Structure 1
């Protein structure tokens, strides 16, 4: 048994230590945003965040994750209350088939967590490991810039009720 902290909750998982995180997320925890693409860490469809860094879950064994915080797309927001990155991708209609988008959003989220105002070149560099044939690349860039703006405005806004 291995204990994983996923999206802020502890989960006891009965799996071999060398089991890829992707299989545990999908098969044990019913978290299906991370997709199986290549199984070789070459396409980015399985990207999640581990301790603030984008990680390819198809090649990351459980044994490396004990005591670390794993965040999936499901952990960022909900349908009713999407996270800024999710809202921005929706607003910009940045997905076409949608297969790679969850991984791209997670890698973009990790970028925005460490760099609140990335340049287009920095965004492109960050997304380089992702394969996408849909042709929405310009909308994806706009979505990430929009998410940065949403996140920056949220940080600058005073907390409601703070004056009371």
Structure 2
């Protein structure tokens, strides 16, 4: 992945930190890292298709409204063994960058529209002990470089 960042001349900032498994655990670390922080949902729709949806860390995604926004059937959370076999990562390390391990067409990756246009979003580098900061447009470029056709969508959120 770092080789691809270099080959595509994509600038990024790298941060090492203690392992974090949830958005809540990452809040202290996030405060010291500039940019938009993210969380990722690994989902399976009622038709059997897998989805990786990246949203702002604070977003409470409306899972009932999500299928209409991204063009799929009713969704539920994907199982860890499917995540590991399709993306090569385990829960806690989920990142759109894991699509480097996914066969094109095996998982549809979705990036929230606000993140896609952000100057800097923060994602895991395939492990939960680090954070990479890069532009949303550069995340999309990487996904396309790896043979994926990312979806950019306004992700519906629940009102708090």
TM-score by length of 1: 0.26
Larger Rg: 1
Greater share of strand:
2
Higher relative CO (Cα under 8 Å, sequence separation at least 6) belongs to 2
